[in-house]
Amino acid sequence: MLTSLDEAYFIYQGHVQSQATITQPMQLSPLFNQQVINKHELRWPFKDHQLMYSTSKLILPTAATYNLGLMMLLILGIVIGCYGFYRLGVKQLKLAEQQLNFVSSVSHELKTPLTSIRMYSEMLKSGMVPSEQYKLDYYDFIHCESERLSRLIDNILQLSKLNQPQQCVEAHYTKLSILINIIESKVSSLLINSDFKINISSEFTQPDHALLLVDLDAFSQVIINITDNAIKFFDSEKIHDYRRKKVDIHFKPDAKNKDFIEMEFRDYGEGISAKQESKIFELFYRGGSELTRSTQGTGIGLALVNELVLAQQGTIEAHSVSPGLSIKIRFKSKIQ
């Protein structure tokens, strides 16, 4: 019990033997000023005095400190766990939506060309097309649509192997000159049908001496998917500048690692946003909604490209340029 008047302090201390001592220190020790419990004014004749009850100094024992630390860790673990479950739930919902969009787009991609092929083939079969020029045009259309269906089916089949691409890819060192010939042959039909041009350049004066670690089938699929993607989105944007109907492929030594060769694929379409640069290679990712989108596709082409490049021990990244999109692929290499 503490009694104070201005700067005078009286301390009353009771003992076990029912004895008490009263002291009057000049200054109040911090020991008696830890936490005020209660205080009130005294009545006459001590109305100028005040009684104040306070706790003594609290000393936290080691066991209490240990238990408090465990409680804090437990609370932190619960918070982190709840956040993790929340993020997992959001991710699963997003994946479910992407898969639903994928099923919708695949159904559309299969149904539309099959309907067109059936219609044109029935017209040719019934003899309704007397002109030889029209017949050739219809044959070309059927051929192009069948090729597109074949690419779609190949992508869907390859989708089942995304988690184990190393089992279907056998990379070998191949001459750069051979790869350039493969590029020209694989994308020629795509470019001709879309009235696109391709420019292939290299900083290697002797392409026969530059070898890249690739699997020829996987490399071809990478080139076809990227080219088809560039043409598809260029046409969907209805760009009327025919000087931009081209793709550039450039080979050069990697500036960061001398053991790699960089292949840059550049188109001149509308490009992508900075936000899409980190998502463009995600499985099922397509910007916008399936209900309002006019661009063909299933959202697995560039995801396959990413997995196939990684399976060939390479790296890939996309950057928006003005105008268009730049995709840089780095392959392991050696110079003979």
pLDDT for residue 72 is more than 50? yes
Domain range annotation of the chain: 2-55, 62-159, 165-335
pLDDT for residue 124 is more than 50? yes
Lowest mean pLDDT among 48-57, 162-171, 310-319, 326-335: 162-171
Q: What is the mean pLDDT of the chain?
A: 79
pLDDT tier, 296 (very low <50, low <70, confident <90, very high otherwise): low
Average pLDDT over residues 49-64: 68
| Residue 89: both structure tokens together | 């739930």
Tell me the C-alpha distance between 282 and 276, whole Å. 10
Residue 92 CB partners (closer than 8 Å, separation 6+): none
Q: pLDDT at position 35, please? A: 64
Q: pLDDT at position 18, please? A: 66
pLDDT tier, 17 (very low <50, low <70, confident <90, very high otherwise): low
Average pLDDT over residues 87-91: 87
Q: pLDDT at position 268, please? A: 87
pLDDT tier, 273 (very low <50, low <70, confident <90, very high otherwise): confident
- In this prediction the pTM is 0.59
Q: CATH number of the domain at 165-335, out of 3.40.30.10, 1.10.287.130, 3.30.565.10, 2.40.128.20?
A: 3.30.565.10
pLDDT tier, 188 (very low <50, low <70, confident <90, very high otherwise): confident
Average pLDDT over residues 66-72: 86
Can 62-159 and 165-335 be said to share one CATH topology?
A: no
Tell me the C-alpha distance between 9 and 29, whole Å. 10
Q: Considering only residues 1 and 59, tell me which one the structure prediction assigns the higher pLDDT.
A: 59
- What pLDDT digit, counting tens, does each position of 202-225 carry? 999 898 999 999 999 889 989 988
Tell me the C-alpha distance between 320 and 273, whole Å. 7
User: CA of 94: how far to CAs of 100, 294, 334, in Å?
Assistant: 10, 21, 42
Q: CATH number of the domain at 62-159, out of 3.30.1220.10, 3.40.1160.10, 1.10.1240.10, 1.10.287.130?
A: 1.10.287.130
User: CA of 137: how far to CAs of 124, 131, 305, in Å?
Assistant: 11, 10, 32
